[in-house]
Amino acid sequence: MSQHSFDNEELDGYIKIDKYNTEKVDRIAAHYTDILECLGEDPKREGLVKTPERVAKALQFLTHGYDIDAAEVLRGAMFEEEYSQMVVVKDIEVYSLCEHHMLPFFGKAHIAYIPNGHIVGLSKIPRVVDIFARRLQVQERLTNEIRDCIQETLGARGVAVVMECKHMCMAMRGVQKQNSVTTTSAFTGAFQNDVTRSEFLRLITADLA
């Protein structure tokens, strides 16, 4: 049977709980001990003794989205409401791992939906982003998964997702272009209309302060 350890950290009134499967930690850590040796390092030296365990826990945290049902999270905060205009949540921070090199990519997501009888608690939109981002990903699929989850769960009249990210597999290796940004977008329903889509794009680029 799997065992879990818990690290609790209180931050701004919220308690963050990290759960680790100790069996998986041990298995992953053993592989990273071999990896360190293959890289020419000494895994027994002081600075690296606990590195395999730390990496194993970090990887579990960075991929914990596999264990969470994003649609269930949305359904847990759905409310009947006659509001039928655009709801926009922009500048949502995104942190994920590219599945090709397991290097980070990060940036922002901008999301809108037009309700069709139901709205959802605003905090659940960024939560959905996190759930899908905390998996091995490509940005294109991540964009579509967020769109589809919101559309199918809320039955919205339309959903729009735009994501802007920097990829470390481009900045640290390969072409080594440190300032390049990748933009992806996905639309359903009403946002396939040019006028509605243009309004969304104007809102996410406007400074309303």
Q: Which residues are catalytic?
A: 98-101, 139, 167, 169
Query: At 162, which amino acid appears?
Result: V
HEC secondary structure over 167-189: EHHHHCCCCCCCCCCEEEEEECH
**CA–CA separation, 39 and 33 (whole Å):** 10
Closest CA to 204 of 88, 86, 85: 88
DSSP-assigned letter for residue 133: H
Query: At 172, which amino acid appears?
Result: M
**CA–CA separation, 159 and 52 (whole Å):** 41
**CA–CA separation, 88 and 140 (whole Å):** 20
Q: How far is CA 35 from CA 21, 27, 96, 123, in A?
A: 21, 13, 22, 39
Query: At 69, which amino acid appears?
Result: D
**CA–CA separation, 112 and 209 (whole Å):** 19
